[in-house]
Structure 1
Amino acid sequence: MLISQCEVIVIIIADSSVLKTVFKSLDVTTSVLHHFSVWSCRNLKILEKDILSFLFQALPACPIQATCEAASKEENKEKNRYVNILPYDHSRVHLTPVEGVPDSDYINASFINGYQEKNKFIAAQGPKEETVNDFWRMIWEQNTATIVMVTNLKERKECKCAQYWPDQGCWTYGNIRVSVEDVTVLVDYTVRKFCIQQVGDMTNRKPQRLITQFHFTSWPDFGVPFTPIGMLKFLKKVKACNPQYAGAIVVHCSAGVGRTGTFVVIDAMLDMMHTERKVDVYGFVSRIRAQRCQMVQTDMQYVFIYQALLEHYLYGDTELEVTSLETHLQKIYNKIPGTSNNGLEEEFKKLTSIKIQNDKMRTGNLPANMKKNRVLQIIPYEFNRVIIPVKRGEENTDYVNASFIDGYRQKDSYIASQGPLLHTIEDFWRMIWEWKSCSIVMLTELEERGQEKCAQYWPSDGLVSYGDITVELKKEEECESYTVRDLLVTNTRENKSRQIRQFHFHGWPEVGIPSDGKGMISIIAAVQKQQQQSGNHPITVHCSAGAGRTGTFCALSTVLERVKAEGILDVFQTVKSLRLQRPHMVQTLEQYEFCYKVVQEYIDAFSDYANFNLAYLKAGMLEVLDSNLVPSLTCLTKVSNFCVLKKVDVHLFLI
């Protein structure tokens, strides 16, 4: 194992005595220990499997002698979700006692320090039905403005947390009235805004307060998230939202130690990284375990912390506000000193360096399925491959070369598929039927440069049958850059029919990329409009191999939806996420650059008309066009003081 020193940022992982114990088992020489007590992020991939689990086991369960007398009282035992997760007396949160109610000052929650901020967090268990009122009392008394929830209400059919908020309207919990003001659902998390107010004595009523709950929904029932990207985005939102004047941020999962501790440690270590250019995960976890037991509960969570820090170190914050995109593009076309590449090329080089997990493609590589793959380098991963029903009496018939892909607002928004081969057309339609996909986006011609790119899987007229599936062409309409085909698809075995709409894009040349983004923006808008009418089932997207053009479409659709909603884009992380879900998504530097250019073109569609003032629109003094065509006021505020385009111009450019 070769360990080298870090140039800029280091990871302090333990004191030398712990390191010696660990390294002895790993055959690492003592001379390495003598010279290096810190480790570079570049070596984290080496450290990850070989050392981090050892370090986790070496963590002290509790570095101090602490008591849990309040939590252990008979009156309080029912308030604890788990008998072995109890707050220490010295760090527990004290509620204001309720007159006449013994031990009403108790809640299973502990103050936790941040990087340089005392009691920045309150780590709490997920409320039980009988402690929801106490939970809201704590929120009120501690002047909390932000709640971070890192569990789902139920996992593996087991209740992990009582729902302590109303789905809509308002509800009163004890003496706190909670009303839902807004809910935003995104792919990895949901943001809920509540207005809370004390009820009771009208003469001494306190003013209303706004509470924001960030609910991370992508933590799997077992283990840790597949990638830390979603958690880092989530944490950034929490940091940006929490007001300076507010009290402690309340963080809870189910027990309030494992995922809760993981969130707290990542937050603190990112702060330390920015301030000192180093982090001390081992030391920080040891310290917060003196405030609440078992903070960071498993070695997988401990490793996940390092993965998140490594992700941030290697790639940084790549989010951009739309107003800064033009400047960013100018910057990334400049050569990077000491290299022959410009910034754009370096970005794409980082993407191509992501290792393809060939060992995670078992089903696609089975001998019976190899002939079903158009390109042997592009095979779906096991964790998100699209599974179709097994044909009765036939083995290996659940495979199709297609992957579920996450979108901006929900998981599995897309099915990224290869263009069907002649002998896989039936499987393609079985997939469409099974997953209720009502929109198909085709990004290739049937033949390009004299080679077949996709078998024709629909009839030119009339109807055609593929096994139990019958497809009938009902209508065909030519648009400027694509053809729309309305297909009636019938499952003869189930005796049911569905309307499917295919969008066949003709604007992609046989070589290279489209000359401009107008056609791509237009087809994305048409597909999203179709989705609103047909429901939120997956959009099936395919080119030939189901990676290059397919990835570009999925990336642009996701990025433009976020631009519309937030006025923010992150092309790099969007493409990185796609490549983690399917090999070679956005396959070439040209396609990657095209993503940036299309987004800029989308934004420029507004800036050409930037002589309007947003205030006039808010005052109702300008004609407001179709709301589906105009981004939100939040987005417009970030773009500029412009707002409405003439309808003839808008429909070509805006989603």
Structure 2
Amino acid sequence: MEFHHSRSSLSFILLLFLSIHQFSYSTLQFTFISETATKNATYQYNSTNKNANQLYISNETSFLQIECMGDANTTSLYCQNNTCPTTVINMSTNLRILQLNSSHQYQSNYTCRSGVNNITVEVLIGRIPVISIANQSTIFVPKNGSFVLQTKVNSLPEAAIQWYLNSQKNFTTTNTTFPLLQIDSFNSDLVGNYTLVASNKLGSSSITFVVNLVIAPAIISHNVSRSYPIEYSNVTLLIELDNTPIPSPTVNWLFNSNQLMSSADYILSNYTEDGKQYYSLKIVSITRNLAGNYTVEVMNIFCTRSSSFVLTIGSIPVNRVLNGDLTYLINSTATLCCANTADPPVENIMWQFNNESLSDLDNGVNETLIIPRVQLSDAGQYTCTPSNVYGSITIPFNLIIHSPPVFNHTKDLTNIVINTIDELNLTCYALGIPIPQIEWSHDNEVLTDVMFTTSGATQIMSTLTVYVIENATYTCRAFSNITSSPGMTQTFSITANYTVYVILPTPTTPVIPPVSPVIPFIQDSLVFTALFCVAILFMMCLAIALAIVCLLQQRLRTMKIIELNSPQELSHNLEMTIIHPNDKFQTLVPKEYAMLDSLSESGIVIDVKVSEIAKYIENLKANDKLGFSEQYDILRQKAPEHDSTVGDLQDNISKNRYKNIYCYDHSRVKLTPLDDTHNDFIHANFVGGYNHEKEYIATQGPLENTVDDMWRMVWEYKCSSIVMLTKCMENLKRKCALYWVEEGRTVFFQIAVTHISSLHLVDYSIIKLSLQPVDYTGEKLQVSLFQFISWPDFGTPDSPAALLHFRNKVRDYHPYNSINPMVVHCSAGVGRSGTFIALDIELQKASMEDKINPFTRVLEMRDSRNYLVQTESQFIFLHDAILEGILFGYEDTTVTELPILIDNLLKIDPDVKKTGFELDFKALTSGKIDTRQFSDGNLPVNIGKNRSTHILPFNKNRVKLTMMPGVDGSDYINASIIDSYAFKHVFISTQAPMDSTICDFWRMIFERNVHTVIMLCNLIEHKTEVCAKYWPEIGDELDLDAVTITNQGEEQNDDLKILERDLKVEYKKLKSSRVIKHYNFQGWYDNRFPEDLNGLIELLDIANECNNEDKRAPILVHCSTGVGRTGVFCSLYNSIEQATFEECVNLFYVIKKLRLQRIHTIQSLQQYQFCYQALAECLRAIEEKDS
């Protein structure tokens, strides 16, 4: 019989009774006693157990006592092989073994004998199983992951092994010494307590592992980066986890990389709601010093997730003008200025008149509403509503139109004949707003006995009663206090008609004239006759003119493009230009449709050589761009008709942004089908390019319900480049869903899109993303999203320059030899998208074949997707962009290659005998300027405010001052709003003030929130005043109409040649003031350049610091005219900014862009060359400073 004991209380007592019949056998008792015995055991002698007994004793037992009891004379105890601890044991029946655990030498067969009977027990020294582990007792395993539980069992005899999961037998193992358990594809059913039980004859041991399913934290929603108004009392940043992470996560909040703890400024908390976990950071009180980068880190042993927020502090728009009643004279120009301060700047300004939207102005930020030649019907309630992300304010204006007095007489009452002594009522009618005053006078004496009657709000009638005695003249004067004019006068000349008695032979009856007043109508009749004749003559002229127009229109309707049999038939003698209705009075000029080799025999445009493109475009633009109109008409007529049955299916209609934009079946992009029907559809078509048939995918801007499809398409076709030519919102209308990830990681239909980096510039953004299906372990797809934001819907950019530069950026990432399609989309995916694709292809064609064919290109592209190049203006722009791309290229140069470029530009081209600088500057300054773009500066009321009549601001970006009621032109100053390379509205470039414009200069500084002025000229240069002194001496004040300027101090830096002033400007009407930093650079004269660039570099650093501190406050820069030295300064700033963001420069492009914002920026070849040399020096100084 065997017993198993734990090692803490192991006891073996073997009690053996051997009973022998008194006549034939003896009683035999064999006892084993250990230190920790808990039970007795008896071995009874019989024929089966005498040699089959085995006893295991733990090696931890301190002593073992063996007793053999039987017949006193014949009982003995002995052990086999003399391994017993004593040499004489046969005569003893009691043996005590000490320190049993020190050795195995006491393992033996012990025999108890009495007479002829004996019992043998084999005593073995063993051990209870001992389990050691290699793992931790608690482990976490991800779903579908694997784990191994490693153990080691030390046991004698060998232990039996069994694994249990949650007390249930589940697993067995054959290795009893190193039993391990390996689980693959771990899931929630396998979570629990894993117990290993090892047992042998001495006892058993066990160990338990706790295995949990680890769940990584996943952030599924969070605040987006945004600005908050300073008016907010508090802001809470909140994240939501889509699961309950195991083990519980640790959550850390950081502000600008510094860990946050709960404090007076911040409250950190978490809670669970509807089974979801939320963690929040409450910013107790909004202050500007709490703006910055906030990051939340959620981590457990499996991974760390993070989400970042960029918190900026701003404000809703604040009114900066004194609104209310605005009064203007009829026929004057009324200006309503919606000047406001907002952070961030306003995104839209909505104008209304008498609660009706002025839809023509709902197109962005129009701060000024100009009403030329206002009429009485323009009077009423106007409101402007500037809005930004925080909200909006409504600024009311009550426009009152005053009309100078005019007389409203129906007859000419200047000559009146009346009998003497008769009473005559003279009535004077006057109209005006406000109601005029009427004054009667006679012989320069004002009469007071007058009656007045008003009619409505505009008319007054005044009656003067006179008694005619003699010839007299009465004057009625209508006047108003709205003008300083004496008003209008009406003179009444009265001729007294006397009764005359004549004595004649016959008749004797006196001749008595009529007694009633005689009002002659002779003048009225003459006027009526003259007017009648004029009307007859006018009608005759009008009939003749209409006949001519009808003939011309009939000729226009019957004329069409001649289909020539050969190019040689094209001649100036063939026909004259078709008359456009708007040009019916123009002189006819010979028509030249294109160059001789640009028409095929069927009349379709064929290839045009690169050398002839400029002339070709010039001919198409002749006669009000008639050639372009004819070509575009052919494109309309030849529009293909293909089926679009899949896109018209009921299940797919909701996936189409516009009803009239069809997705042709034969060229549509097909997605991998899913389980449901028609889910292979996306509104996208392949468009062939210069290199292969599926070089582009033209698609619409994704809808909210097609974002997943967009990313499916990008992944399935491995599209590494996306060209986006629209904003998400345009004119307050949604044009495209925000389908990309601005930060962190988001899953779109099992495709994880991760944000890597963003670069946001004035005209475009470049966003780097990575794509990978959630269950895919292969290589990620790196995607570059290029967004061009300077292209209005249905319109064209102001210039091709920015788009061409943008295209170069796209091609830097997406080379021509790429086999994967480039995704191109705008809103509808036809207008802007088609123009970009055609431009990209034609520039490749020009590069490879030295010829282009935009007409045929668009015709072929429309076979793949309808309406590509959607408007005639886009078709014309396409040609202009191709020409400019061929002429200028706009290729960037790396910063390290700039010195090499300068050396090359200094070399003389042997063919034209000119340097590269000369050729560049000639190209830069070529081209025609439409003077209508400067019409505001050319107005007679403004012309005297310009230092130079050929340096005027563009209307589109001139600084508009608040209009002063009744003062025409008071909103004008010769100043332009200028963008930097990366940010909008960074500079105000302006001319030096004149004596007559100093007040306007300071009004501009205050109204435009200017804090820094950089002056690049001196007051006197070459003995000529080039700038009026617009500041006072130290401690003095300069009192102007609208503002007061105080000089609070000056500091001269002779080494840098910079004089720094602190000028306080106070705006009287608003009773508000601020201090302006004024930097006067004194080391730069107009006809020579600074000998030392350190001062100029210092000013560039100051400008950069000011822009970084407050992008809402433009930096005012001026020299004498605001284009030469000012242009150099802005060019250097923008180029350094480009080098900072992109590690490359493009001075030609930078200056071209500046010249599109202020005419004649960089006036001379010498200034252009100085820009390059100064830029190289500035970049070298920046590198040395950084190192």
Q: Does TM, scored on the shorter chain, surpass 0.5?
A: yes
Check 1:123–1:603 CA distance in 2 against 1; reply closer, same or farther (3 A cut).
Answer: same
Range with bigger deviation, 352-361 or 137-146 = 352-361
Provide the residue aligned with 2:49 in structure 1: none
Which position in structure 1 is the counterpart of 2:687?
A: 112
Q: Do the aligned partners of 1:363 and 1:369 also contact (CA within 8 Å) in 2?
A: yes
What is the DSSP-based 3-state SS (H/G/I as helix, E as strand, rest coil) of the residue aligned with 1:284?
Answer: helix
Partner of 2:735: 160
Contact kept, 8 Å, 1:404 with 1:416, in 2: the verdict is yes
1:453 matches 2:1026? yes
Structure 1 residues 110-119 or 261-270, which shifts more? 110-119
Distance 2:800 2:595 in 1: 30
Query: What is the Cα deviation at residue 564 of structure 1?
Result: 2.6
- Pick which of 240-249 and 149-158 moved more: 240-249
1:62-113: CA deviations, max 9, x gaps?
A: 65441100011111111101001021001111111221x2211111011111
Q: 1:31 to 1:212 in 2, by over 3 A?
A: closer
Q: 1:227 aligns with which of 799, 803, 813?
A: 799
Among 790, 809, 812, which residue is 1:237 paired with? 809
Moved more, 55-64 or 175-184: 55-64
Q: 1:470 maps to which residue?
A: 1044
Measure how far apart 1:540 and its partner are: 1.2
1:284 is matched with 857
Aligned match of 1:557: 1133
Distance 1:179 1:471, change over 3 A: farther
Alignment-derived partner of residue 174 in structure 1: 749
Partner of 2:783: 211
Report the Cα offset of residue 469 of structure 1.
2.5
Q: Which runs of 5+ in 1 are unaligned?
A: 1-12, 610-628, 631-643, 645-655
Q: Which residue does 1:271 correspond to in 2?
A: 844
Offset of residue 580 of structure 1: 2.5
Cα gap change, 1:221 to 1:442, in 2 (>3 Å) = farther
Rounded Cα–Cα distance in structure 1 between residues aligned with 2:768 and 2:1129? 32
Letter of the structure 2 residue corresponding to residue 478 of structure 1: Q
Q: Is the 8 A contact 2:1002 2:1043 kept in 1?
A: yes
498 and 606 in structure 1: CA distance in 2 versus 1, 3 angstrom threshold = closer
Q: 2:722 aligns with which of 131, 139, 147?
A: 147
Q: CA deviation at 1:143?
A: 0.9
SS of match in other structure, 2:662 = coil
Pick the structure with more helix per residue.
1
Determine whether 1:303 maps to 2:879: no
Q: How big is each residue's C-alpha offset from its partner over 1:165-213, in whole Å with a ceiling of 9 and x where there is no partner? A: 23322322222222322111111101111222222x4xx4454322211
Q: How do 1:566-585 and structure 2 match up within 5 A?
A: 566-585=1142-1161
Query: Secondary structure of the equivalent of 1:182?
Result: strand
Partner of 2:651: 75
SS in 2 for 1:51: helix
Residues 1034 and 1050, structure 2, Cα contact 8 Å, conserved in 1 = no
2:758 corresponds in structure 1 to: 183
**2:772 is aligned with what amino acid?**
Q
Equivalence for 2:306: none
Deviations 1:15-50 (A, max 9, x none): 968997998645657998766645412212332324
2:969 aligned residue: 396
Query: Residue 824 of structure 2: SS of its match in structure 1?
Result: strand
Query: Does the residue aligned with 1:72 lie in a helix, a strand or coil?
Result: coil
Letter in 1 for 2:755: V
Structure 1 residue 589: Cα displacement: 1.5
Q: Which runs of 5+ in 2 are unaligned?
A: 1-560, 579-588, 600-606
Determine which of 1036, 1058, 1083 is the counterpart of 1:507: 1083
**TM-score, normalising length: structure 1:** 0.85
Which whole-Å CA distance do the structure 2 matches of 1:315 and 1:65 have between them? 38
Q: Which one is further off, 359-368 or 331-340?
A: 331-340
Q: CA deviation at 1:419?
A: 0.7
- The amino acid across from 1:240 in the alignment is D
Does the CA-based 8 Å contact 2:794-2:870 persist in structure 1?
no
Counterpart of 2:844, as a letter, is: D
Question: Are the counterparts in 2 of residues 390 and 398 from structure 1 also a CA contact under 8 Å?
Answer: yes
Counterpart CA distance in 2 for 1:535 and 1:76 is 45
Residue 294 in 1 paired to residue 870 in 2?
no
Question: Which shifted more, 254-263 or 477-486?
Answer: 477-486
Give the Cα–Cα distance (whole angstroms) in 2 for the partners of residues 414 and 456 of structure 1.
22
CA distance in 2, matches of 1:18, 1:171: 61
The 1:198/1:120 distance shift into structure 2, 3 A limit, reads same
In the alignment, is the contact (CA less than 8 A) between 1:413 and 1:538 conserved in 2? yes
Distance 1:375 1:34 in 2: 44
Letter in 2 for 1:208: K
**What's the counterpart of residue 372 of structure 1?**
945
Q: Give secondary structure in 2 for the equivalent of 1:400.
A: strand
What is the aligned partner in structure 1 of residue 555 from structure 2?
none
Tell me the CA shift for residue 497 of structure 1.
2.9
Quote the Cα distance in structure 2 between the aligned partners of 1:227 and 1:319. Answer: 18
TM-score with structure 2 length normalisation?
0.48
Do the aligned partners of residues 240 and 33 (structure 1) sit closer, same or farther apart at CA in structure 2, a change above 3 Å counting? Answer: closer
Deviation at 1:141, TM superposition (A): 1.2
> Which residue of structure 1 aligns with residue 1114 of structure 2?
538
- CA shift for structure 1 position 521: 1.9
- Deviation, 1:485, is 2.1
On the 8 A contact 2:808/2:891 being kept in 1, the answer is no
Partner of 2:835: 262
3-state SS of the aligned residue for 2:977?
strand
Letter in 1 for 2:656: N
Using the TM superposition, give the Cα deviation of residue 536 of structure 1 relative to its aligned residue in structure 2, in angstroms: 4.1
Residue 673 of structure 2: aligned partner? 97
Residues 596 and 175 of structure 1, relative CA distance in 2, 3 Å threshold: same
**Cα distance, 1:434–1:167 mapped onto 2, change above 3 Å:** farther
Question: Deviation at 1:450?
Answer: 1.8
Tell me, in whole angstroms, the C-alpha distance in 2 between the residues paired with 1:16 and 1:528. 62
Which residue identity is paired with 1:253? C
What is the CA–CA distance in structure 2 between the aligned matches of 1:227 and 1:174, rounded to whole Å? 40
How many residue pairs align between the two structures?
Answer: 595
Deviation at 1:402, TM superposition (A): 0.6
1:222-270 residue CA offsets vs partner (Å, 9 max, x unmatched): 5201110000011111111126666211111000000000110011011
Equivalent residue, structure 1, for 2:1101: 525
In structure 2, how many angstroms separate the alpha carbons of the residues matched to 1:398 and 1:192? 40
Q: Which residue of 1 aligns with 2:1066?
A: 490
Aligned position for 1:424: 997
- How far apart are 1:340 and its partner, in Å? 4.3
Q: Which segment drifts farther, 478-487 or 181-190?
A: 478-487
Deviation readout 1:306-338 (Å, 9 max, x if unpaired): 111110222234532222222222222222224
- 1:314 is the counterpart of 2:884: no
The answer to whether the 8 A contact 1:166-1:178 is kept is yes
Matching residue of 2:1163: 587
Structure 2 counterpart of 1:212, one-letter code: S
Question: CA 1:137–1:606 in structure 2 vs 1: closer, same or farther (change >3 Å)?
Answer: same
Q: Secondary structure of 2:1084's match?
A: coil
CA change 1:606–1:554 in 2 (3 A) is: closer
Match of 2:614 among 42, 66, 72: 42
Find the counterpart in structure 2 of residue 195 from structure 1.
Answer: 770
Task: Name the counterpart of 2:980.
Answer: 407
In 1, distance between residues paired with 2:988 and 2:952? 13
CA contact (8 A) 1:414 1:540 kept: yes
1:56 Cα deviation from its structure 2 partner? 1.5
The 1-side partners of 2:1031 and 2:592 are apart by 68
Q: Percent identity?
A: 36
Which one is further off, 509-518 or 411-420?
509-518
CA distance in 1, matches of 2:897, 2:593: 48
